[in-house]
A and B are shown apart, each in its own frame.
Chain A
Amino acid sequence: MNSGVTPYILISIGVAFDLVGAIGLIRLPDVYNRLQAATKCVTLGTALILLGVVAASGWSAMGIKALLAAVFVLWTSPTGSHALARGAHIAGVPLWSGSVIDKYKEDTGR
């Protein structure tokens, strides 16, 4: 299907955000900050790449699958990051030394 440059633009922006997310994973200091970068950038980046596929293939089997996959990614990736952050905190992974407050520890004692 001929759909011009739109898919390329969407996919390029998506890849750029994914790249920033990956750099964030390396540069940020602790689990929680890294999850922030990973969740936000990788969610939007991946969703944009999938939307690029939708723009390229339109209302076909592949386009619909990509659209559904984008919805599932947007829905489940924040949920996954709650589970990881909560699990890390309960398992005793400390916050970065520059952190200013930890209400969760104060209240739950974990």
Chain B
Amino acid sequence: METLKRRLLDMLIIFVLWLLLTWSLDLQGVVAGAILAVLFALVLSRLLPPHVERLFSPVRWFWALMHIISLAFWVVLANFDVMYRVLHPNLPIRPGIVKVKTTLKSDEAKAFLANSITLTPGTLTIDIIDDWLYVHWINVHESLEDTEAITRDIAGRFEVTLRRVFD
């Protein structure tokens, strides 16, 4: 029963995406979209993560919005950071790969954390192994061994919102 519900939800999402992309209610297009939605939902089998019911929680959507707002701020800052480093005659970089421990539990939350870190100033996630994220940092701080401070700097600012969205 649970699988059936998820399959139907997958179909619905694909179908809505199709309607948005074609942006017409022409009968032929709608029928083709419905057929394709069924086919894709069967082939892809797992489009949505487990705990689909979380998709209908307004509180989680609110925190998702908060996350997007804070992410937008950091993305803009990241761009000016890159602009400064790239256009500066001396190329002020001090790169290295550091590791960061995350307290997030679910895979989706970790994936979004990794993506968010990549879009923020000077950091690029390379890999996730268990609870550890390996992050390429364009300007590593002096305190190389202070994992806690590094974690706070890189991951802390997103964990607050992502935990409330996914975990």
Partner-B contacts on A (CB < 8 A): 17, 20-21, 23-24, 27-30, 32-33, 35-37, 39-41, 43-45, 60-61, 64-65, 68, 74-75, 78-79, 81-82, 85-86, 89, 95-96, 98-105, 107-108
Contact = CB atoms under 8 A, between A and B. Distances in A.
Interface of chain A, main secondary structure: helix
B81 to A, nearest CB: 8
30 contacts: A20-B87, A23-B86, A28-B91, A29-B93, A32-B136, A33-B136, A35-B136, A36-B82, A36-B124, A37-B86, A41-B79, A41-B82, A43-B75, A43-B119, A64-B20, A78-B118, A81-B118, A82-B118, A85-B136, A89-B126, A89-B127, A96-B95, A98-B93, A100-B94, A101-B140, A102-B96, A103-B134, A104-B99, A107-B129, A107-B132
A82 B125 contact: yes
B79 A40 contact: yes
Contacts of B86: 20, 23-24, 27-28, 37
Given A41-B83, A89-B126, A64 B23 contact: yes
Contacts of A44: 75-76, 78-79
Interface in B94-142: 94-99, 114-116, 118-119, 122-127, 129, 132, 134, 136, 138, 140
B21 A65 contact: yes
B97 A105 contact: yes
Nearest to B22: A61
A100 B119 contact: no
B45 interface: no
A68 B21 contact: yes
Interface residues on B, range: 35 or more
Interface of B: 17, 20-24, 75-76, 78-79, 81-83, 85-87, 91, 93-99, 114-116, 118-119, 122-127, 129, 132, 134, 136, 138, 140, 144
A7 B23 CA distance: 22
Contacts of A60: 23
Contact of B140 (A23, A28, A29, A100): A100
A75 B112 CA distance: 9
